[in-house]
A and B are shown apart, each in its own frame.
Chain A
Amino acid sequence: MNVGTEAPSLPSRPRWLRVVGVAAVLSTAATVWLGLWVTPPDKVQGNLVRLVYLHPPIAWVALYLAFGLAALSSLLYLWRRTRSLFWDRLAAASVEVGVVFNALTLATGMLWGRPTWGVWWTWDARLTSTALLLVLFLGYLALRRVPAEPEVRARRCAVAALIAFVDVPIVHFSVIWWQTLHQGATVLNANLSPTIHGSMAWTLLLGFIALTLVFVWMVTVRYRIEVLADRTDAEHLEVSLAERWAEGDLDGVPSNGANGGNGANGGNGAGGVLRPPTRVGP
């Protein structure tokens, strides 16, 4: 595990990432083409059904992929055997992407609700629990910004992610547990019998695949940003300590964690007098 002033090693950029990126763009473009121009209008909803090719796949990514991965990573961080800052960084990356998709779930849902229900927003169980989910994971992102040792931050964020994730099954089952304006599940319903067929079903499936690829690309890039940010933080601290050591400012300063760090690294364990930092890692 990376502790202290050790800079995390920088993983090489995966070669498959470019392939995933290109596949994500092409499949998203195909979904838009099929959804807007090829598939027929619905008998009941008319052209509004075209939003179905976008809204459920976005919600799928936010709720099940992004927040699911964040909860799983948090669990693996909290489990002593698999504890590693890798899981903490993966959870952070996944939550940020999930928050973007969650906000889009609400936005596209409102654009569907206004012409269908006559209102932009209603305190319906599905809508309210989805909005609560956004607030909970925004809280997670705020918690990550609170200065703390990496392990302390990782532990408290893992717990926060697991608490926030409790809302996901509530969102999923809200249309069954309560009388809601929101329609029931089209694909993942109680009988597992999709209520959509033909070109509409294939376009919806392609939408799910496209946005899953977009999610994989975004989380991978966001994870790398997390590693790079940790590394630059650690290096910045090393340089600052080295400069202050060279100036002789640190002689005699007790190593109590209040020695000019950014909160992410703490003292160097030198026991009263700070030593020049030893460079660790590549």
Chain B
Amino acid sequence: MSYVDAGYAVGLSVLFLYAIGLVIRRRSLERAVDLSLPPSDSAERTAETGGASGP
């Protein structure tokens, strides 16, 4: 592997893994908030944000 390939591999894979980590952290916190809300509030929030899917 050349230094150029290594540079792109390191740069892109770190950014990709960090982005995945952000999505996982956000989803788990959204679930925690959903669980702590009364059922009516939780349904409203889910409808407003479209659930925990997407970026």
Indicate, yes or no, whether A interacts with B.
Answer: yes
| Distance A19 CA – B47 CA, assembled complex (angstroms) | 20
Known: A13-B54, A111-B3, A218-B19. A232 touches B8 (CB 8 A): no
B29 & A229 in contact (Cβ 8 Å cutoff): yes
| Distance A36 CA – B7 CA, assembled complex (angstroms) | 11
Known: A32-B12, A214-B15. A225 touches B26 (CB 8 A): yes
B4 & A228 in contact (Cβ 8 Å cutoff): no
B4 & A36 in contact (Cβ 8 Å cutoff): yes
0/1 per residue, A233-276, Cβ < 8 Å to B?
00100010000000000000000000000000000000000000
Q: How far is the CB of B19 from chain A (nearest CB, A)?
A: 7
A21 at interface by CB-CB < 8 Å: yes
Interface range, B side = 20 to 34
Contacting residues, chain B, for A217 (C-beta < 8 A): 19, 55
Which residues 16-64 in A have Cβ within 8 Å of B in the complex? 17-18, 21, 28, 32, 35-36, 47-48, 50-51, 54-55, 58
| Distance A36 CA – B12 CA, assembled complex (angstroms) | 13
Interface range, A side = 35 or more
The prevalent SS among residues of A at the interface is: helix
B30 & A36 in contact (Cβ 8 Å cutoff): no
Q: 27 interchain pairs (CB within 8 A)? A: A13-B49, A13-B50, A17-B54, A35-B8, A47-B4, A50-B4, A51-B4, A51-B8, A100-B15, A104-B10, A104-B11, A107-B7, A107-B10, A108-B10, A111-B6, A112-B3, A112-B7, A214-B19, A217-B19, A218-B19, A218-B22, A225-B26, A225-B29, A228-B26, A228-B32, A232-B32, A232-B33
Q: Report A's interface with B, CB cutoff 8 A.
A: 10, 12-13, 17-18, 21, 28, 32, 35-36, 47-48, 50-51, 54-55, 58, 100, 103-104, 107-108, 111-112, 114-115, 214, 217-218, 221-222, 224-225, 228-229, 231-232, 235, 239, 282
